[in-house]
Amino acid sequence: MVKVGDKAPDFEMYDTNRKPRSLRDFIGKKTVLLFYPAAFTGVCTREMCTFRDSLARFNDVDAQVVGISIDSPFSNKAFAEKYNLQFPLLSDFSKKVSVQYGGGLVENLGGVLGYTASKRSVFVLDKEGIVRYAWISDDPGVEPKYEEILRAVSSLN
């Protein structure tokens, strides 16, 4: 599990256009990694739309927002298009990055036996890729503290 002060582990995942993206693509900017359990679910939709609506505030502090879920690139693309999400959504369909960063997965999401998803979590990285803020929830119904995340990003030089 990734903790504050750690060098963020590199990864490679597909974006909504099935293009491989890695953490190296975002180094040089402050980066907010948003792990969300499942596209098109109520809490995930609210969370991603809140970040969409706050995107100008993140851009103002030179921060890149990146969403990550175990959903396929196809589902993530439909999700991004439906809700006009103007930041990258990456597919961790192997679940490796979700486990590496968040320390585990949500089992039986929504009461569906066998449905495993990313834990809802947020990691703020500085321009060098060092974790400066980490929040992980064991409850997929809990949203992150949006203003706290913006303050964490804004405090980075």
Beta bridge partners of 13: 21
Torsion of CA 70, 15, 18, 26, to 10 degrees: -130
Residue 114 contacts by C-beta under 8 Å, 6 or more apart in sequence? 108
Is residue 49 part of the annotated active site? The answer reads no
Residue of 2, 44, 65, 109 marked catalytic: 44
Cα separation, 12 vs 130, in Å, equals 17
Contact 32, 153 (CB under 8 A): yes
Catalytic positions, written as ranges: 44
